[in-house]
Structure 1
Amino acid sequence: MAEHPTGIPIQLEPLVTRVLANNPSPYTSSGTQTHIVGDRDLAIIDPGPDDDAHTEALLRAVGGRPVRAIVITHHHRDHSPGSRPLAAATGAPIVGAVAEHVASDSLRLDAAFDADYAPDEVLRDGDSVSGDGWTLAAVATPGHTSNHLAFALPETKALFSGDHVMGWATSVISPPDGDMEHYMKSLEKLLGRDDRVYYPGHGEAVDNPQRLVRGMLGHRKQREGQILRLLRERPMALGLLTTRMYAGIDPRLIPAAERSVLAHLYDLRGRALVHEERDVWQMTGQAA
């Protein structure tokens, strides 16, 4: 990703300004990108972590203009906690993804749940918020999380893709809230659209989004095929399967890779291609 300072508004097009939060990590790239939509009045998409410096940077970028809505793509703590101090400062409602509280024993990655997220208004697929010269229409894209929404800006054919499609890496799909079958269907849904550009929550803008989405679908199908080939060799536990598939990966990313492999396995199990016995995965019909 091209380097630029945190907290500095970058105008991407007349209706869209980006402000980068200072929360870089192996899971967030250079940090969470908050997008400000509008000119005379505004929407703020994914205000990021609860960080005083980032909230102050957003308020400077707002410059006293009315904020019609604080819009949330999903409830991970690198995206939604900043909505609360921003709402207190601007009086704007928090709208977007439904609040989901999922019990999980999985490792807490950087993209952990924001347990305090509570929107003033839930938006469903096709619902919208609008202001002077702009509209944000919700596009349901579950998979990365069960409640994930993208937001289309029809005035310029832009799509704010959150973490469903990012400009630097593929999304982590972490069960039970993440679901590989839903993620793939959401990618296919986006492939059927004609958006001009994606503005993701992490990474640079995507100027040829349909090509990227086709590549992401192909990448996930390749991973699925890799799992099936390895399990045809012999049954394997999740950890061994992951290390075989992701040889040479940054060790800090192994937990995330393991969650995505597990999501693939759950999808394959749902299609009766694999099953699990005593924490060992194997092809259906294969002897342990």
Structure 2
Amino acid sequence: MADDIPFDRSLVFEYGRADWLSPRLRRLIANNPSPFTFVGTNTYIVGVGRVAVIDPGPDDPVHLAGLIKNLNGEKVEAILVTHTHRDHSPLAVRLKELTGAPVLGIGPHIAARPLNFGEFDRLEASADTQFVPDRALGDGEIIAGDGWTLETVPTPGHTMNHAAFAFKEDNVLFAGDHVMAWATSVIAPPDGSMSAYMASLRRVAARPETVYWPGHGGPVRNAKQFAAAYVKHRLMREAAILRQLKEGLTTIPALVGAIYQGLDQKLTGAAGLSVLAHLEDLVQRQLVIAAPAATLTATYHPAG
């Protein structure tokens, strides 16, 4: 089903080297590749001389050293964080210690809904629960420096404190993990919410930016069409889940097996969480009823 999105996995880079993407923008990629981070986390340097850093990355001393080297004495005026997953935000603490720059983001990590039994550990696994911004950013809030202007665009869904940042001078959007060129975004309850994610997708698709710079991988070109393909993909996934429920499949493992045929076993857990996110959204919209197995219309369990 991923064939309905025009993915682009081409990327030329070198760890430790900041590549110029425009006269006012550089990207340095952390060496933390995985099935969920592609080749690593993108750290962006906005401006020249007096700069902002977006998504410092994981708590990795090698990545920090590379970032400081590529800054080459420039003054960091702001450290922005798109969201609080451990591959994006933890290095903000060390970068602040070295530069004195304030750390800015929507707020601390929060769950999308009350936690059920056994979910706390999974929330901890990928979340930077220690993150507290020096200032919480509001919708539309502007962070500006010498030759650069960034507008805060809240995009809850992947996490509930996820934000994108519109770079006015380049007419691009730093999209974090909201929209990426190489893969779909993982929506994993209880951190994420499919309802919020779909609303955020439609919001960014209506914006004027034509290029997104994501948290992983290369740029999203033809951004409006790409975001629309993301929306279509999720609606197709939702329809597939509803069909399988009508066929009598009533557990997440069964739904994953039927819908994600040929899936890499390393991604089975993520697929289960994505199905859970869709089911929660369908229940919220009263299209599916979660009930005990004896009176089942659809049943699902957070443990997946």
Give TM-score, length-normalised by structure 1: 0.94
Equivalent residue in structure 1 for 2:39, among 27, 30, 33: 30
Q: Paired residue for 1:207?
A: 221
User: 1:105-138, CA deviations, whole angstroms, 9 ceiling, x for partnerless residues?
Assistant: 4474997101211110111110121110101110
Equivalent residue in structure 1 for 2:239, among 225, 248, 253: 225
| Larger strand percent | 1
Q: Paired residue for 1:137?
A: 151
4+ aligned runs moved over 6 Å, structure 1: none
Name the CA distance, whole Å, in 2 between partners of 1:257 and 1:281.
26
Q: Paired residue for 1:185?
A: 199
Aligned partner of residue 229 in structure 2, secondary structure: helix
User: 1:167-194, CA deviations, whole angstroms, 9 ceiling, x for partnerless residues?
Assistant: 2111111112211011011011011111
1:89-238 matches, within 5 Å, as 89-102=98-111, 105-106=118-119, 108=122, 112-238=126-252
RMSD: 1.8
Aligned pairs, number: 284
Identity percentage over the alignment?
A: 46
Q: Paired residue for 1:86?
A: 95
Q: Is the 8 A contact 1:27 1:110 kept in 2?
A: no
Aligned partner of residue 139 in structure 1, secondary structure: strand
Give TM-score, length-normalised by structure 2: 0.89
Q: Paired residue for 1:20?
A: 29
Q: Is the 8 A contact 1:237 1:281 kept in 2?
A: no
Name the CA distance, whole Å, in 2 between partners of 1:95 and 1:88.
14
Unmatched tracts of structure 1, length 5 or more: none
User: 1:19-47, CA deviations, whole angstroms, 9 ceiling, x for partnerless residues?
Assistant: 00000001100010000000121000000
The answer to whether residue 72 in structure 2 is matched with residue 69 in structure 1 is: no
Q: Could you say if the C-alpha distance between residues 62 and 281 of structure 1 is closer, same or farther in structure 2, counting changes exceeding 3 Å?
A: farther
* Matched letter for residue 142 of structure 2: S
Q: Is the 8 A contact 1:235 1:282 kept in 2?
A: no
| TM-aligned CA deviation for residue 276 of structure 1 | 2.0
User: 1:214-251, CA deviations, whole angstroms, 9 ceiling, x for partnerless residues?
Assistant: 10000000000000111111141111111111111110
Name the CA distance, whole Å, in 2 between partners of 1:210 and 1:279.
42
* Matched letter for residue 74 of structure 1: H
Q: Could you say if the C-alpha distance between residues 3 and 119 of structure 1 is closer, same or farther in structure 2, counting changes exceeding 3 Å?
A: same
Determine which structure has greater relative contact order: mean sequence separation of CA pairs < 8 Å that are 6+ residues apart, divided by chain length. Answer: 2
* Matched letter for residue 21 of structure 1: A
| TM-aligned CA deviation for residue 203 of structure 1 | 1.1
Aligned partner of residue 126 in structure 2, secondary structure: coil
